[in-house]
Amino acid sequence: MPEYYVDERDIKFQLFEYLGIEKLLEFDTYSQFSREEFEMVLSEAVKLAKNTLAPINKLGDEEGVKFEKGKVTTPKEFKEAYKKYTEGGWTGMSSNPEYGGQGFPQVVGTATGEIFVGSNVSFTMAPGLTRGAADLIEDCGTKEMKETYIPKMLSGEWCGTMCLTEPQAGSAVGDLSTSAKPTGKLGEYLISGNKIFITFGEHDFTPNIIHLVLARIEGAPKGIKGVSLFLVPKYRVNPDGSMGEFNDVSCGSIEHKLGIHASPTCVLNFGDNGKCVGYIIGEPNKGIKYMFKMMNEARIGVGLQGQSLASAAYQLSLRYAQERIQGVDIREMKNVDAPRVPIIVHPDIRRMLIYQKAYVEGLRALLYKTAFFGDLLKANKAAGNADEADKYQDLIDLFTPVCKAYSSDNAFRCIELAMQIYGGYGYSAEYGIEQYLRDSKIASIYEGANGIQALDLLGRKIAIKGGMLFMRYMTDLNAFTDENKSHPALANEIKILEKGRDALAETTMSFASMSMSGNLLYPVLQAYPYMDMFGHVLVSHLLLEQAVVASKKLDALFAAKGASSDDSKRALIKDHADARFYAAKVETAKFFANYVLPHVFAIAQTIKSNNSSALDIVFES
């Protein structure tokens, strides 16, 4: 496997120069931390990723996991890495210190998550799901559940899962048939049923696995309104916290997949012998409401999966383009003696590189900013600032489907371009790009297929609270464009963003009119194009926000170094690392605004066409 590269410079820029996460330190919730601690955590994450996780990534892909007599065996190197990971306290880095977490801001956890996921996505699924399950138990479980399970999960002693999907109930979760029968003891039920596609549903990292299972209590209403949530351990837990008897949860098989080979995807059987005990979380028939907390966190995590792998692939393709000698400079084509040049000289290669760079950095901003909003939500809620907390909750709710769907789809396309830059070598296993491509594809499918995310954005998030979520974002976007419309370096791109904003707002209103007139099918047909449209505007906005910051920093460097002429500025950009970084930020935002953002206008025109061919066509069998 080739070396794993982390873009530490951009990660730190986004955290400290763009988002300014030090403002979190002004709140009591995070006042015990410092920027130095945040940077130390990032540095340690890079070391663990490079020295421990990345070296076993290809091994895990080639060796995979083994299934025999109901047991799943992972590569021994993965178990050793898990021990190092948990000893470092990484599972609970952003979790509640009351239960053994470290309490770091979520945005720092997201940055370290990118570093880990990009190095070995299969490995990170186990601790990622465990943290999500522990957080759900903290929010919705009983005091006894919290004290019994969360500390062992955050320490890494036990792992956790989420169990939703059944053969007949994938995206339509309400069609599930797993049942729950009261035992007579308060909150205790016998669980019976089968779940499929359960990530790390069975493994040998830990002796116990805590499953969060959706099931229907006997006599409950049909559909999603009759679904309840249960905590179902692989082994029951004794009153003293030790592991007790086997809880009748078995693995029937594992899937053989395109990618993420070292992550076991399991069929789980609950109660084959009638002895599987589950403990209800919260109230009966409200399971999907509770599970949505974990699902929404997982959806942002899946977006991060795509972005992390795209970043790793971009870093490799950039270095390959700088080193691979092929052809001559197009301006020297007629000179038979012209020297052969690195392919990064060729315009089409540069187009593919800047496309990747724009998306990697734009999606990073989207995911980090959403996580940062989560921290501001938590801090403002603790400080009693209810209105501010509501604002951040609304923005998180609005951005979540975009984080998942727009990130995963466009990350996959970026990795395709990385492979294209490598040519035939990229299609070969030796160079690592093809594994990134395979490992990333699942991100558009699981945790709610991307079409479902588009429906969530248009059908729920845009409509709820009378359109308040969308208007909150429009208010922020308007403030940015108004403030920067005369920017000396970016005025043209801000103007394009304004037009994109107007097209998005007009299209959003047109859907509202359709719904009021009873036209329901056409908006559903156009939900995914709308989500793409929203993502283009949002990511362009975030890239231009970064460019404004970078432009100011670049101007300060020019002034400090006495670079006043165009030639002296170009020379400084060539020779000075920071000047080069900031100038690239500006050019990247310009590229996206001019190359990608105009797709918004084509999508708007498509939606306006009212063409319903996809609904009207009769397909031949």
Tell me which residues are annotated as active site.
447
Q: Is 20 left (phi over 0), alpha (psi -120 to 50) or beta?
A: left
CA-to-CA dists, residue 119 to 185, 200, 581, angstroms: 46, 18, 24
Radius of gyration of the chain (CA): 25
CA-to-CA dists, residue 295 to 31, 135, 289, 401, 475, angstroms: 29, 11, 10, 11, 28
Helix count (H) and strand count (E) of the chain? 20, 14
Residue 119 is which amino acid? S
7 C-beta neighbours (distance < 10 Å), count = 21
| Tokens read off for 514 | 């359709």
What is the distance in angstroms between the CA of the first residue and the CA of the last residue of the chain? 44
**φ, ψ (nearest 5 deg) of residue 213:** -120, 130
Beta strand residue intervals within 164-315, DSSP E:
179-182, 188-199, 209-217, 228-233, 235-237, 243-246, 249-254, 265-270, 277-281
Pairing of strands 179-182, 209-217: parallel
Distance CA 281, CA 188 (A): 10
Distance CA 365, CA 403 (A): 10
Distance CA 287, CA 290 (A): 5
Burial level of 289, CB count in 10 A (0-12/13-18/19+)?
A: middle
| Tokens read off for 267 | 């069929």
**Any idea what the Cα angle at residue 125 is, between residues 119 and 128, rounded to 5°?**
105
**Any idea what the Cα angle at residue 189 is, between residues 187 and 194, rounded to 5°?**
135
Candidates 536, 560, 436, 540; CA nearest to 480 is: 540
CA-to-CA dists, residue 482 to 177, 476, 491, 593, angstroms: 53, 10, 11, 17
3-state DSSP helix/strand/coil % of the chain, to nearest 5: 65, 10, 25
Candidates 178, 448, 164, 409; CA nearest to 305 is: 409
Distance CA 1, CA 45 (A): 19
